A and B are shown apart, each in its own frame.
Chain A
């Protein structure tokens, strides 16, 4: 049992982080419109609550800072002060400090020193000028800070995770019982099984629903980030956000937090031009950044869109050759989408010089890995001179995936739909052999095709060259797509499309990355789930 004290602490932390996020949002609103009385009132109220709660918990330093901040927001509200001049940076840094203090409490670390902030707040109350030297450097540090999501909605996420796992098990048993009841053919059993299936479905839906949060809970952190990054990069940026109400699994949102942060920093650092460059290019001086979310079938599309300089395909092509990712000849034959896909290769960075903001450690390959781990997709579209759009295609929920089931050597395998373009059934005359590779034309594009059986059972060496005589009769082919590379996999037989619950591969076999996990079919049969990224890499490494 958790002690009541621990429970209070957890609630305090969750609420304090929520307050901090809301305060960050409201102060940005107030900066845009100093007459926004709604934002001001909220700042006052949140500061007031934080003060009371912190004092009740015995976190007096937080209480003190919040108390001073509340006083100043009170003065502004009562028109005795205005939100202008030196008041602005002091209050911004006050909210940052509060964020740091809350995090320090959460991590059981020592609280940051606040003498200077308290001194400045005192000066403001007394109507004196604050001491703002060195304030710039502090700002730079803020830019690299980590964003955090609250761990509590009404119950802890890990409890929801557990619930979700149990529901996953239940769904497997549901399928098994449905299969059995069909085999046995008893009407009473069939009715009971159908009822069980309905209840299990509803339960699954409810548990998934309980884990959904609005994308806005992550987006709301960005006005502040954009402001800080834009200041450091000396860019003028207007941020628009849409689709904050779109619902997505909280853990997915957590996993994409850093990816989104990176894309936004990149867009401001590299995508958008300086006001002078923009004017020279005949564009409005202020750059535009859009963060949007929309639901598309079962997926959620999150986009980061800028109206900056766009991606220079020619220079990406050149760099890909320089880095040895592709031969000069090969590069010349690639279309623009294929060239832009190089941006996601490990270590490929387009920035001429590593700037302070976007140069911190990660490249787009890390963004891509995060999205891959969710079974999602990362796409980029760009028009030179007009801007760039990154699109994250994310599942709404991680636990259940749509998959295509097929048969290979009398065994069932599953392949996630996320990476499946289409399925085709082709006669041998539809293939050509080019350089030892089977090729076929799908939607006006040449797609390499490989026998999955040969790919999986090949030893360590390269695949032996394919021959048309290997093919007899119709070939069932799954066209998979990873990082803009299409690949056809010849399988023995398509089975059906089905929602599956993927279980992680058990040790010690988890080192084989070709399989994203296993799923249990209604028949109780174990079914391997193929990992398309790993399979594509294997093909590229082993092709003749």
Chain B
């Protein structure tokens, strides 16, 4: 990253931001560190009937009962031959009125980048299956491409619950398949 010319050019007035980077399917995603409360091994989750399939259920995180969601499932990013491993990790994210858990397959890693590295999402973003309104931008670091998500928009109750009808049917599909 030190060798990158654009970061040298604007280093003076360009603030450094910290991301938490994690993998969904084959792609890398990032969240601003302020939005992440903690990262832990995914606790025991109780499945909630009558919720979208990507809502994995509720878990006890130090006395807080939080909903845990699976974004690979939410955005259809999971490869068929790569089920969520038995030990996964959960990032507790502070949404507006509540805390919510996001399940990821590998330990998320912190990463510092200059603000300016994050570019507005270009057209090809359609390919990653995530609606662009949840995307704050794209960070290109060498060969890596990190999609920076705006968690507050993604985790509103309407975003999570409005999908219910659509998701219940797809959940029913996935159940009949398995």
Binding site for B on A (CB under 8 A): 169, 172, 409, 411, 456-457, 459-460, 503, 505-509, 511-512, 514-515, 518, 520, 524-528
Contact = CB atoms under 8 A, between A and B. Distances in A.
A514 B50 contact: yes
A31 to B, nearest CB: 53
Contacts of A512: 48, 50-51
B112 interface: no
Given A169-B63, A518-B65, A528 B46 contact: yes
A460 B165 contact: yes
Interface in B152-168: 156-157, 160-161, 165, 168
B59 interface: yes
A28 to B, nearest CB: 48
Contact of B58 (A172, A506, A511, A514): A506
A526 B44 contact: yes
Interface string B57-69: 1111001111100
Given A508-B157, A525-B60, A528-B58, 14 more contacts: A457-B49, A505-B58, A506-B65, A507-B97, A507-B98, A508-B156, A508-B160, A518-B58, A520-B60, A520-B63, A526-B57, A526-B59, A527-B46, A528-B48
A526 B51 contact: no
Contacts of B175: 457
21 contacts: A172-B63, A411-B46, A457-B175, A460-B165, A505-B58, A506-B67, A506-B98, A507-B98, A508-B157, A509-B51, A509-B67, A512-B48, A512-B50, A512-B51, A514-B49, A518-B46, A518-B65, A520-B65, A524-B44, A526-B59, A526-B60
B151 to A, nearest CB: 14
Contact of A526 (B65, B156, B157, B172): B65
B51 to A, nearest CB: 6
Contact of B157 (A507, A518, A524, A527): A507
Contacts of A518: 46, 58, 65
B120 interface: no
A525 B46 contact: yes
B101 to A, nearest CB: 11
Nearest to B97: A507
Nearest to A455: B49
B44 A525 contact: yes
A457 B168 CA distance: 10
B54 to A, nearest CB: 13
Interface of B: 44-51, 55, 57-60, 63-67, 97-98, 100, 156-157, 160-161, 165, 168-169, 172, 175
Contacts of A507: 97-98, 157
Contacts of B100: 508
Contacts of A511: 157, 161
A169 B47 CA distance: 23
A309 B96 CA distance: 56
A526 B169 contact: no
A525 B46 CA distance: 8
Contacts of A520: 60, 63, 65
A520 B63 CA distance: 9
Nearest to B172: A459
A456 B171 CA distance: 13
A456 B63 contact: no
Q: Which among B65, B100, B160 has the highest number of chain A CB atoms within 10 Å?
A: B65
Nearest to A506: B65
Contact of A459 (B51, B58, B60, B168): B168
A503 B65 contact: yes
Given A459-B168, A503-B65, A509 B47 contact: no
A456 B98 CA distance: 26
B90 to A, nearest CB: 14
Contacts of B55: 509
A280 to B, nearest CB: 56
Nearest to B48: A509
Nearest to A408: B49
B38 to A, nearest CB: 16
B87 to A, nearest CB: 17
Contacts of B65: 503, 505-506, 518, 520, 526
Contacts of A457: 49, 175
Q: Which among B48, B59, B64, B168 has the highest number of chain A CB atoms within 10 Å?
A: B48
Contacts of A409: 47
A218 B169 CA distance: 51
Closest 6 CB pairs between A and B?
A508-B157, A456-B49, A507-B98, A526-B46, A506-B65, A459-B172
Q: Which among A409, A505, A512, A527 has the highest number of chain B CB atoms within 10 Å?
A: A512
A503 B61 CA distance: 14
Given A508-B67, A508-B98, A509-B67, A459 B169 contact: yes
A520 B44 CA distance: 11
Contacts of A506: 58, 64-67, 98
